[in-house]
A and B are shown apart, each in its own frame.
Chain A
Amino acid sequence: MSQEITKVTAPLPFTRKDVAEHALDFGKSWEYAPSPEATDHFKIEPRYELFIGGKWRTPKSGKYFATTSPSTEEKLADIAEGNAEDVDLAVKAARHAYERVWSKMRPAERAKYIFRIARAIQEKSRELAIVESMDGGKPIKESRDVDLPLAAAHFFYHAGWADKLDYAFHGRRARPLGVAGQIIPWNFPLLMAAWKIAPALACGNTVVLKPAETTPLTALLLAKIFEEAELPPGVVNIVTGAGETGAALVNHPDVDKIAFTGSTEVGKRIQRALAGTKKRLTLELGGKAANVIFADAPLDQAIEGIVQGIFFNQGHVCCAGSRLLVEESIHEPLVRKLRDRMATLRLGDPLDKNTDIGAINSKMQLEKIAALVDSGEKDGAERFSAPCAIPSKGYWFAPTFFTGVAQSSRIAREEIFGPVLSVLTFRTPDEAVEKANNTMYGLSAGIWSDKGAKIFWMAQRLKAGVVWGNTYNKFDPGSPFGGYKESGFGREGGRQGLSAYVELDG
């Protein structure tokens, strides 16, 4: 190795020639052995019933459907298929519990139940994380270190609000709404259940929850926790099923409020269905967030933020940073670094502790992703996919990005909901704002720059409900989350998130 010290170089920017010649090798030297999470300390029941009025009840139709593991395609359990009659029973149980018990209970006592639930989630954390990974496909590293701590934190946080609502609304008196119908998606099954149930209970409402049909298990384990915490029967009811079950809940006349997280398309359907009723509604829908990288960003850390933004949870995230808007002057080095960074992403068994990218949640979702990726290639964008070995069984998609993406192409406009990033460039901050806002969505955005003033300037102008500066995908029960425009309305978390679950005077 000769010591060439006649020329002093500053490392950046490096040229295309450098890029081609000096390649890092992320190969097979020192492979990590499989490191599977132990699953022998609990078991999944072969069959789960509906949880209504504090009891496990068989579905009126007698029908069950299978929930399978998207990484192995094996059946995990049979799940009760709730129909309109079951929904009706659940709403009645919720109403009864609301009127007889929950609305009469001292708020400080309500809080204690919610604290108990939080504690139990902490105690059963590992089991819940493993089941979440098996049922939904996400890596155990994420369910264990992100989903579970946040789920427990949501219950802890909201427990503390139960007896403090008098402070939360600036002198306006708050009353609970009554019965809340809640429909949640498959990307963060337990966490979404926590986001919905915790504030509803804290504000004095009772709940009927319909989990997503591909990921019902952790909601059902949560129901067991409600039982063990001695939550009064009927305060939370879980009715599993698919689209029709959800529709029955939305249309039920005795539900006071609907909370929905899911696709924009279904959200609009629900909004239409509620027209003319007095039901309150909050919607948390899709997104196509812009992650904006300026030339003065700390680049290596911005790469981490990009990877986190789109590959976390396989991109099954409504607030995913799925559009990378990079300042043109650093496009080359950024793409180079991103490519190298993706070479160390490990795709595979969600229960392996070293897995970074888990399974795609379902065959249907995989087909949607593949179709949009095809369209990207047809539109002439240049595709790069990480060289991951794909297991033979299960649903998988290698982390991918496209460069040379046109603002008008489908992959720049439509939510892919998968590990696929579209890279576009901009020249000035004004242009970045224009491109970032040029979408019907408005859930989230990221800004990367070393200049504080620029972060605030961009944050002021971005039409997004959540703006991350020099970070991405950060969540906290105390930070209100929700979208602008067709990403939905209403906020979850924080003091602001309580408004969705109360009636206010004045």
Chain B
Amino acid sequence: MKKKTDTQGSDVDVETTVNLSDLDSFETRTMARREEATGERLRVAKAYKMYVGGAFVRSESGRYLQVKAGDEKGADPGVVNVPRGSRKDARDAVLVAKSALDGWSARTAYNRGQILYRLAEVMESRHQELVTSLVRGGQSEAEASGEVDAAIDRAIFYAGFCDKYQSLLASSNPVSGPHFGFSVPEPMGVVAVIAPESPALLGLVSTVLPVIATGNTVIALASEKDPRTAIVFCECLATSDLPGGVANVLTGRATEMAPHLAKHREVIGIDAWTGDTALREALEREGADNVKRVKTHAVPAAPFWLDDRRGQGIGWLERFLETKSVWHPVGV
């Protein structure tokens, strides 16, 4: 054996000759070990990518983050690489969300509701995969199952709200004079969401769905702790009839991407759920450049999200709606 310096500069033992019988036994030993361990075929690992414009993409920067993936119940190894989104990814996602906006807001409310209901159907069919993903992210099986149930029910909740909030929020205004006055809620435009770290699925669903239910389009930054589950959710989005570009999800560090979304003048609103108070303040400050509607929050614990009265509701829908008042004379 000779000593050799490997590419990292440390000494490594290197065999100078190859012993074929050793190779044979290595192969059989490995295969035997594998068969002993699992008795199964090797499964195909999923590549986790961001979801932009209806497609799954890597970061333009080529960077990645490694996420530990807990107990190996799923198809993937214990360590998973997810894209580390960059400023440019954020910029590209805004463009995509902007071009999807007119089409999405022009859909009938009924149609949007149908699409969200379809999303719920798809999520339900992926119930097991979502649970497994959450478990690999550190949840218990029971917690995970409860979270997935709640996420699906939330999708149904908003599916049924798409064509109803208008009759709750609009008004006919009894103005003094011979005019018919009415006020209607309208979507604001492109909204950025920083989803809470936890709960990784329910938090994302709770913050994204009310934004798109009202006709806005969204760029969401997934939980850094468990971006894999966010991406499984994106697979549900991708198969749900939701047009590409309406909901876009980036993975990576919020601190790297969020400020650029806050500065981006095409983005009209931000909903940021993060414990990082400095980041929250930065978003509020940067957003002023184009008078963004910025809402920041600390991240409440799981019970908040699971509560039907707090984790969802008309307040969530109102957050990114504008009111337009219209006047017209009444006369012959």
Contacts and interface: CB of A to CB of B under 8 A. Distances in A.
A222 to B, nearest CB: 20
Interface in A105-129: 108, 111-112, 115
A156 B117 contact: yes
A434 to B, nearest CB: 14
B156 A167 contact: no
A133 B308 CA distance: 44
Contact of B164 (A454, A460, A495): A495
B329 interface: yes
Contacts, number: 69
Given A157-B110, A167-B314, A478 B163 contact: yes
A133 B178 CA distance: 47
Contacts of B330: 453, 456-457, 460
B331 A156 contact: no
Chain A interface residue count: which class? 20 to 34
A198 interface: no
Interface in B297-332: 308, 314, 328-332
Interface in B141-176: 153, 156-157, 159-164, 166-168
A156 B161 CA distance: 11
Contact of B117 (A108, A115, A456): A115
A159 B153 CA distance: 13
Contacts of A452: 328-329
A451 B329 CA distance: 10
A454 B156 contact: no
A454 B314 CA distance: 36
B114 interface: yes
B168 A429 contact: no
B113 interface: yes
Contact of B114 (A111, A156, A163, A167): A156
Contacts of A153: 110
Contacts of A157: 110, 163-164
B180 interface: yes
A167 B331 contact: no
* Chief secondary structure at chain A's binding surface: helix
Interface in A491-506: 494-495
Nearest to B328: A452
B166 to A, nearest CB: 8
A494 B160 CA distance: 13
B11 to A, nearest CB: 64
A478 B164 contact: yes
Interface in A162-215: 162-164, 167-168
Given A111-B156, A157-B163, A167-B314, A457 B328 contact: no
Nearest to B116: A160
B160 A453 contact: no
A164 B169 CA distance: 14
Given A156-B114, A452-B328, A163 B157 contact: yes
A115 B164 CA distance: 15
Given A108-B153, A456-B328, A456-B330, A156 B113 contact: yes
A160 B328 contact: no
Interface in A211-246: none
A102 interface: no
Contacts of B113: 156, 160
A115 B118 CA distance: 11
Contacts of A112: 156
B328 A164 contact: no
Interface in A83-111: 108, 111
Contacts of A161: 160, 164
B160 A164 contact: yes
A111 B166 CA distance: 20
Nearest to B121: A119
Interface in A286-342: none
A452 B182 CA distance: 14
A54 B332 CA distance: 57
Nearest to A149: B110
Given A156-B113, A164-B164, A478-B163, A453 B157 contact: no
B328 A108 contact: no
A346 to B, nearest CB: 30
Nearest to A476: B110
Contacts of A159: 160
Contacts of B157: 108, 163
Given A108-B156, A161-B160, A156 B110 contact: yes
Contacts of A429: 332
B12 to A, nearest CB: 61
B176 to A, nearest CB: 15
A61 B200 CA distance: 61
A498 to B, nearest CB: 10
Contact of A160 (B153, B159, B308, B332): B159
Contact of A478 (B167, B180, B308): B167
Contacts of A115: 117, 156, 160
Nearest to A480: B167
Interface string A453-474: 1101100100000000000000
B167 A453 contact: no
Contact of B331 (A108, A453, A494): A453
Nearest to A202: B160
Contacts of A454: 331-332
Closest 4 CB pairs of A and B: A160-B160, A456-B330, A495-B167, A453-B329
Interface of B: 109-110, 113-114, 117, 153, 156-157, 159-164, 166-168, 180, 308, 314, 328-332
6 contacts: A156-B114, A160-B160, A167-B164, A453-B328, A453-B331, A454-B331
Interface of A: 108, 111-112, 115, 153, 156-157, 159-164, 167-168, 429, 451-454, 456-457, 460, 478, 494-495
Given A157-B110, A478-B109, 11 more contacts: A108-B157, A111-B160, A153-B110, A156-B110, A156-B117, A160-B162, A161-B160, A162-B160, A167-B164, A453-B330, A457-B332
